Structure 1
Amino acid sequence: MQIQNPQKQYPKISKTAWIAETAVIVGNVTIKDDVFVGPNAVIRADEPGSSIVIENRCNVQDNVVVHGLSDSEVIIGGSSSLAHSCIVHGPCRIGEGCFVGFGAVVFDCSIGKDTVILHNTTVRGVEVPSCKVVPDGMTVTAQAGVSGLEELTGELAEFKKSVVEANIDLLEGYKKLAEEEEEGKE
């Protein structure tokens, strides 16, 4: 479902994106090429001055919430994964090639490229440099907590790459299925 916000702004969605029927996208949202948005995801830029941009080849999985406060922006860099039931709340900038795990909360922060934020974490009010790992269940709410984060490993780099590839495959499969259904109606 795509809805205008009270400022009469409609989402802008690439024709190559795939959006689940039960996803809700509201307002000043831009979804670029080859983005997968799963069931029950909510992407909402409805507060005045808020905006959300989801770059190419991202996946926004089931039950993810992306929202922006008034006069804030959320930018999700290309080839990033927002895993099931995570919350990304603006102001927030997530770099290219990142992974945000199940149930994680990311708010009022900047995340460098190729960073992995694992499951059930909270990252708020900090800048996380590129190629870092926030471990499962960790809470990072002070910049001092960022200095102890480990570097991205080859294993986690392969994992996050495989998640993007799996979701691109899903996107292609769902688009093909929709085309076949359309052809069957003719």
Structure 2
Amino acid sequence: MWNEPGNQWPMNIYSYYVGYNPPTSVNPYPRFPRIHNNAFLSPFTYIVGDVTVQNNTYVGPFVSIRADEGTPFYIGSNSNLQDGVILHGLKNKYVEKDNKWYSVYIGNGVSCAHGSLIHGPCQVGDNVFIGFKAIVYNARILEGCFISSCAVVTNGVELKPNSFVPPGANIDTHEKADRLLPAPKSEEEFAMEVQRVNQEFPAAYSLYFGKNKCTCGLSC
């Protein structure tokens, strides 16, 4: 029997986990995440530690944001972390942004596509697109860059603004980073459309699931 109106449906539970990082020798001070009221956390999101998530940011299902080793993390406004994105960082390794130190810094209007890994120390500037299963680790990505699917950016490199990393490329030297060309118009348009769609999700999903949730994350 199909699940149609009038038939009995399985029960849906809206739950995620947001909590303190466990005290350890490398990160002894428990910190609770700060999530803006207009951000949206999907079911099965996992966030621990000193994490800031700003206004109208969408966090998809099965996203893991663990500030339990490297810390703190910052995620700006109007960004999106799609299904299966992972954020983590190395202990005592930082990037500097506006005279503050971060393990992972993600700016405004950033898209992290399905399955991508952003590992600190790293900085991701405004309006950056990180493609499916791409890896950013120990790198500084300046504004407007486009990192294609399955690409790797690492080894302390800095990408100049609006750089295009081709699919599957391994950018691990400054020489490789400096040779990158600007993003093609078609990829810029694709990134803008991804942003447009995902910026609608926080408000839409908040209405869909409702705002009356317990602190445990369950719908009430």
Q: How does 1:54-133 map to 2 (within 5 A)?
A: 54-71=75-92, 72=94, 73-125=103-155, 126-133=157-164
- Aligned with residue 144 of structure 1, among 171, 175, 199: 175
Q: Tell which deviates more after alignment, 36-45 or 156-165.
A: 156-165
Q: CA deviation at 1:175?
A: 1.0
Q: CA deviation at 1:131?
A: 0.5
Could you tell me the percent identity over the aligned residues? Answer: 31
Q: CA deviation at 1:153?
A: 2.6
- Aligned with residue 17 of structure 1, among 27, 39, 59: 39
Q: CA deviation at 1:21?
A: 2.0
Residues in 2 aligned to 1:77 and 1:54: alpha-carbon distance in whole angstroms? 6
Alignment partner, residue 60 of structure 2: 38
SS of residue paired to 1:155: helix
Q: Which runs of 5+ in 1 are unaligned?
A: none
Q: CA deviation at 1:164?
A: 1.1
Task: Report runs of 4+ in structure 1 exceeding 6 Å deviation.
Answer: none
Alignment partner, residue 168 of structure 1: 199
Q: CA deviation at 1:181?
A: 7.9
SS of residue paired to 1:163: helix
> Amino acid of the residue matched to residue 161 of structure 2?
S
- Aligned with residue 27 of structure 1, among 45, 49, 58: 49
Asked if the contact 2:160/2:178 (under 8 Å) is kept, the reply is: no
Alignment partner, residue 72 of structure 2: 51
More strand by share: 1
Residues 114-172 of structure 1, C-alpha deviation per residue, up to 9 Å, x if partnerless?
00000001100200000110000000111111122111232222211111111112222
Quote the RMSD (CA, aligned, Å): 1.7
Residues in 2 aligned to 1:153 and 1:21: alpha-carbon distance in whole angstroms? 35
Tell me the matched-pair count. 183
SS of residue paired to 1:159: helix
More helix by share: 1
Q: Which has the larger radius of gyration?
A: 2
Q: Which runs of 5+ in 2 are unaligned?
A: 1-16, 24-28, 95-102, 214-218
> Amino acid of the residue matched to residue 34 of structure 1?
N
